[in-house]
Amino acid sequence: MFFEIKDKDLAGRIGKLRTKSGVVETPAFFPVINPFKQVKEVPPDKIFEIGFKQVITNAFIIKQNLGDKAKELGVKGVTGFKGVVMTDSGAYQLLIYGRGRIQIDPVEIVLYQKEIGSDIAVIADIPTRDDSTYDEALESVVETLRRAREVSPYIQGSDTLWVLPIQGGVYPELVAKSAREGREIEGYEMYAIGSPVTVLEKYDFKKIVEMVVTAKMNLPLSKPIHLFGGGHPLIIPLMVALGVDSFDSASYILYARDDRYMTEHGTYKLNDLSYLPCECEVCSRYTPEELMKLDKLERSKLIAIHNLHVINRELKRTKTAIKEGRLWELIEERARSHPALREAFNEFIKYVEWVERLDSRFKGDAHAIFLYDVTSYYRTELIRHRRNVLKRLKLKEGRTYVLLPGHPKEKPFRESSLLKKAFDRGLVKESDEVLIYIPFFDIIPLDIDQAYPYAQFEMPDEVDKTLIDNMFERVKKLIREIPKNSEVLIITCDSFPWSKAEVLKQVVEEVGVGNVKFAEVCVN
């Protein structure tokens, strides 16, 4: 098995990608290196030392510069990198310069990558530009698939892992076509989301979400997905949450050449900074003023090293979030870092039902979930809860159903002072079915209140009106389904924002049933 999934959260996963040169733990970032410039900028050994055990380089550029000599040296000899080396076929050059200026023979470049010993290699696809017309995008899909079929006999049985890029760009139906037809072609162990580079450069993250989800929905879940050009730490958690397993980019050095300093929350121009908000080997030794006084090449090298540290740190933070089941909280936090990312997160929420199906139901360690605002309402744990809670309720005739307000400071709810007072006053009997109403969850049967995450969550006392309204809609649905010869008692507490007696009475009036009573119970 060349790809083994070790842990999951949302659609993200930690995995082991086995290559002939060693194992790559995913999610993984492949820094782009140019073997003919790299030593002067960030030496390959330094990239390895920072923590990247894998890189990607360009087989087309190597072929143009060294030709057959590279076959003798091997790709590791050419690059000077001792870890896993992935090669691209020159598609980026096609994207930038066009097919009129760049000519790449699909079979020839595949054979060349095999002969130089690439661990992971990409076929010569035709990228879809973000400004392509529909017909141009369709042509890139059709031609890439044709090439994938043409080289399929040459890659089967190879010890190189071969990557098939999925084209179609901003046209979801073409991305779906590319993925559906691509998965049927033999010989490919990985897939890549093709041509997002220009979209990412424009911070159009919303489009990338749609591209990734469309491709993932139509590709085998057992195989890893790569995102070309995913080089900013800002997007890593969200892309991983959608199921992206690896990334590549030259952003770390391209940004550095322009004195652009990466953080998890965005990018700054170095001369706009008074302090360096990082503790890496560069930021702990220099101030912004000291860096600006260095010569251009040395400054670019140091900023690039910092940028690599930031990317590596965000990957580790994302993996930790997966292990702890906190990936949703991380992407929710990151969504507040940039308006474009918030827009992308809203797009992500549209697909949360699909994400929920891929989400791990049980984690080895149960950590309390943090609920912040209306975006938290779409967490996969809550989606599952709201979908299943009323299904598992066996509503019986002649029974009394008690709706009791829950409060996040008193968990589990069966031990709440409010329930104790209701029992003491004779409002609730042991034979009654007690149901907790509380925002985010809406309705929780008391008999499961000790199960995860009903006693393992934190939420604010004051919540958005939308969350309370959502809860009221679920209360109305429940009351409609309770048999007419049963009784309903709604316990209210005006000190809870979601349990105002006057408002709840209006909610019941909208349902139009007569078997509902109210009792105000508050604990000082």
C-beta of residue 397 within 8 angstroms of C-beta of residue 485 = yes
Annotated catalytic residue: which of 9, 88, 119, 130?
88
Q: How far apart are CA 511 and CA 507, in angstroms?
A: 7
SS3 for 207-249, per residue? Answer: HHHHHHHHHHHCCCCCCCEEEECCCCHHHHHHHHHCCCCEEEE
Q: Is 442 a catalytic residue?
A: no
C-beta of residue 504 within 8 angstroms of C-beta of residue 523 = no
Q: How far apart are CA 354 and CA 348, in angstroms?
A: 10
Give, in degrees to the nearest 5, the angle at Cα 117 between 193 and 143. Answer: 35
125 is in an annotated binding site: yes
Cα 211 to Cα 179, 187, 257: the distances in Å are 11, 23, 30
Per DSSP, 368 falls in state P
Cα 407 to Cα 150, 377, 382, 416: the distances in Å are 63, 17, 17, 8
- Three-class SS state of 12: strand
Query: CB-based contacts of 277: which residues, under 8 Å, 6+ apart?
Result: 263, 283
Ordered alpha helix ranges (H), 360-416: 380-392
Q: Are strands 161-166 and 190-193 parallel, antiparallel or unpaired?
A: parallel
Q: How far apart are CA 383 and CA 328, in angstroms?
A: 13
For residue 283, which phi and psi values (nearest 5 degrees)? -70, -25
493 is in an annotated binding site: no
Query: CB-based contacts of 281: which residues, under 8 Å, 6+ apart?
Result: 305, 309
Instruction: Tell me the residue type at 78.
Output: V
Please enumerate, by residue number, every residue annotated as part of a binding site for Zn(2+).
278, 280, 283
Which residues are known to be catalytic? Answer: 88
Please enumerate, by residue number, every residue annotated as part of a binding site for substrate.
125
